[in-house]
């Protein structure tokens, strides 16, 4: 594991060079293979090309994985320094698919991956965040296409109060939330229904579903609605949040894998640290903006 930015740069240059060499060799193998087949009918020799290319790209993938791990060990720790009461970073660990499915907040496709878990505490509030990618692959028989449900970050905040019913709030453009409003697929005690607040501006920006109106209005205070509207401007992307049992879940559809390092573009330690720090500030901003450590969120 790397300890300095210089080591990261050396590894990046190595990965970049290896990718270029592999690309040139792959093209050469294809051209030579076509020649062998057309001029000499050499099928046996032709098979050696793809095998060689496959080995080279496998070696490249291992080098790329080492580079990513080294980058994260240097950049993420520096970015997170001093931000939280405590934290642990697990680059290869993410949310299990069943964990997100169990919340009942998100439509789940047939493609799923999650990594880059950071868990810890901020102002006494326990948190966990990880990159998450959820999508559905469809096949028409002749072609395949993918629809992304979520490409961004999933966050969980845990507090002492346990809520008796679920509340889901999502920006109007967040398309693939599981609203649980359908009668065919959800039992009556699981089902949520739509509701609107007295704030017309909020209703234009957000769609809400809940199981219990009284608890929903208890949670969705005028201050909380105002803070959510501020977060919408700050995130500049679609997001969804849900109160489930004693946890607040946030799904932010930023459209990118937020912890991935650059491979072919030049960068600097200062730029990368600030980029990751901006991502981590989402955690502190949610706690500070929504004040989830206040009495409304405690037993």
Range with the poorest average pLDDT among 80-94, 120-134, 188-202, 257-271: 188-202
What would the mean pLDDT of 262-287 be, rounded to a whole number?
A: 89
pLDDT of residue 214: 84
pLDDT of residue 249: 94
In this structure, the strands spanning 125-139 and 144-158 are antiparallel
- Total residues found in the chain within this entry: 299
pLDDT of residue 100: 94
Higher pLDDT, 11 or 201: 201
Encoding tokens for residue 268? 């600097």
- Name the 3-class secondary structure at 220: coil
What would the mean pLDDT of 129-148 be, rounded to a whole number?
A: 91
What would the mean pLDDT of 93-105 be, rounded to a whole number?
A: 93
pLDDT of residue 155: 96
Encoding tokens for residue 89? 């970073």
What would the mean pLDDT of 36-51 be, rounded to a whole number?
A: 64
pLDDT of residue 185: 47
pLDDT of residue 45: 56
Residue 291: pLDDT over 80: no
What would the mean pLDDT of 34-62 be, rounded to a whole number?
A: 71
Cβ proximity of 51 and 33 under 8 Å: no
Percent of the chain with pLDDT over 90: 34
Encoding tokens for residue 7? 């080591």
pLDDT of residue 186: 52
Residue 140 Cα to chain centre, angstroms? 28
Mean of per-residue pLDDT scores for the chain: 84
In this structure, the strands spanning 111-122 and 167-171 are unpaired
Q: Which residues of 155-173 are buried (b: 16+ CB within 10 A; e: fewer)?
A: bbbebeeebebbbbbbbee
Sheet holding 193-195, edge to edge: 86-90, 111-122, 125-139, 144-158, 247-253, 238-244, 167-171, 206-210, 193-195
pLDDT of residue 43: 59
Interatomic CA distance for residues 191 and 170, integer angstroms: 17
Label residue 83 by pLDDT band (50, 70, 90).
Answer: very high
What would the mean pLDDT of 267-279 be, rounded to a whole number?
A: 89
What would the mean pLDDT of 56-72 be, rounded to a whole number?
A: 85
Interval 103-126: pLDDT, tens: 989 999 999 999 999 999 998 889
Cβ proximity of 255 and 237 under 8 Å: yes
Residue 40: pLDDT over 70: no
What are the distances in angstroms from CA 207 to CA 105, 112, 204, 223?
A: 13, 25, 8, 17
Higher pLDDT, 128 or 189: 128
Interatomic CA distance for residues 22 and 57, integer angstroms: 7
Cβ count near 185 (within 10 Å): 10
Residues sharing a CB contact under 8 Å with residue 49, sequence separation 6 or more, in sequence order? 29, 30, 32, 33
pLDDT of residue 187: 52
Percent of the chain with pLDDT over 70: 86
Interatomic CA distance for residues 170 and 181, integer angstroms: 14
What would the mean pLDDT of 20-42 be, rounded to a whole number?
A: 75
Interval 183-232: pLDDT, tens: 544 555 566 888 888 899 999 999 999 888 888 888 888 888 988 998 88
End-to-end CA distance of the chain: give it in Å, rounded.
Answer: 43
């Amino acid at each position: 594991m790397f300890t300095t930015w210089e080591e990261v740069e050396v590894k990046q240059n190595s990965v970049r060079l290896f990718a270029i060499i592999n690309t040139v060799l792959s093209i050469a193998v294809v051209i030579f293979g076509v020649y062998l087949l057309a001029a000499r009918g050499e099928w046996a020799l032709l098979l050696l090309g793809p095998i060689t290319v496959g080995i080279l790209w496998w070696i490249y993938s291992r080098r790329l994985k080492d580079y990513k791990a080294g980058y994260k060990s240097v950049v993420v720790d520096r970015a997170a320094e001093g931000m939280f009461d405590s934290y642990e970073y697990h680059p290869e660990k993410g949310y299990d698919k069943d964990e997100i499915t169990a919340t009942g907040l998100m439509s789940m496709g047939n493609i799923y991956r999650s990594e880059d878990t950071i868990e810890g505490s901020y102002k006494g509030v326990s948190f966990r965040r990880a990159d998450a990618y959820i999508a559905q692959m469809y096949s028409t028989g002749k072609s395949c296409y993918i629809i992304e449900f979520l490409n961004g970050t999933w966050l969980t905040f845990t507090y002492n109060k346990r809520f008796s019913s679920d509340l889901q709030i999502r920006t109007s453009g967040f398309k693939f939330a599981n609203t649980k409003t359908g009668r065919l697929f959800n039992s009556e005690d699981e089902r949520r229904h739509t509701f609107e607040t007295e704030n017309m501006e909020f209703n234009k920006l957000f769609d809400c579903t809940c199981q219990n109106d009284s608890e929903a209005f208890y949670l969705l205070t005028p201050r909380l609605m105002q803070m959510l509207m501020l977060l919408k401007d700050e995130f500049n992307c679609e997001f969804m949040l849900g109160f489930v049992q004693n946890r607040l879940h946030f799904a932010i559809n930023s459209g990118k894998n937020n912890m991935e390092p650059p491979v072919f573009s030049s960068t600097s330690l200062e730029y990368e640290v600030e980029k990751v720090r901006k991502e981590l500030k989402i955690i502190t901003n949610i706690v500070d903006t929504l004040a989830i450590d206040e009495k409304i969120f405690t037993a």
